């Protein structure tokens, strides 16, 4: 499944649309094509503030448009610069619930010139769905996205 999506992600990145439209298209593609991706969004560092700001996303609306560094899974990734896979969100102390239906989450940092400028965040309503293949695919997505930021 991921192999068939890679060229589609590349074609979106290479398209003549603006950056916001490209990011939105990537979110829509991943949410539509990957059964266990129920919410897909990008968060970006909010200027010089130690917080993340919600960018384009696909899925249910969220109240979490600003996330302080260190808070929740996204805020922890902003500080650790490492992928964070959460097989069971209920087992996480520092989890910010977006929806009662969310069972698992994966967050992969997005680097530009070796600086963590944001991340892709995936929520799943399926328990423990994420594998190394998801991590590698999302790293690929972020690498492609980094070319347009």
DSSP bridge partners of 45? 52
Please give the pLDDT value at position 2: 98
Q: Provide the 3-class DSSP secondary structure of residue 122.
A: strand
Q: Which two tokens stand for residue 127?
A: 């328990």
Domains of the chain, by residue range, sit at 2-146
Q: Which CATH class is domain 2-146?
A: alpha beta
Q: Which residue has the tokens 């909010």?
A: 46
Alpha-carbon gap, residue 100 to 125, rounded angstroms = 9
Q: Which two tokens stand for residue 92?
A: 């996480």
Residue 139, Ramachandran bin (φ over 0: left; ψ between -120 and 50: alpha; else beta): alpha
Please give the pLDDT value at position 134: 98
Please give the pLDDT value at position 94: 79
pTM: 0.96
Evaluate if residue 96 carries a pLDDT over 80. Answer: no
Contact criterion met (CB below 8 Å) for 129 and 52: no
Please give the pLDDT value at position 68: 97
Split at pLDDT 50, 70, 90, the class of 126 is very high
Q: Which two tokens stand for residue 134?
A: 């998801």
């Amino acid at each position: 499944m991921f192999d068939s999506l890679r060229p589609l992600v590349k074609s979106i990145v290479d398209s003549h649309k603006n950056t916001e439209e490209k990011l939105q298209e990537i979110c829509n593609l991943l949410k539509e094509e990957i059964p266990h991706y129920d919410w897909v969004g990008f968060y970006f560092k909010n200027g010089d503030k130690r917080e993340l700001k919600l960018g384009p996303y696909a899925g249910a609306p969220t109240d979490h448009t600003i996330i302080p560094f260190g808070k929740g899974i996204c805020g922890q990734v902003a500080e650790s610069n490492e992928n964070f896979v959460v097989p069971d969100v209920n087992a996480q102390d520092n989890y910010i619930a977006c929806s009662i239906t969310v069972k698992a989450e994966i967050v992969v940092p997005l680097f530009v010139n070796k600086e963590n400028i944001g991340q892709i965040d995936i929520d799943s309503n399926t328990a423990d769905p994420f594998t190394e293949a998801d991590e590698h695919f999302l790293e690929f997505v972020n690498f492609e996205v980094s070319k347009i930021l």
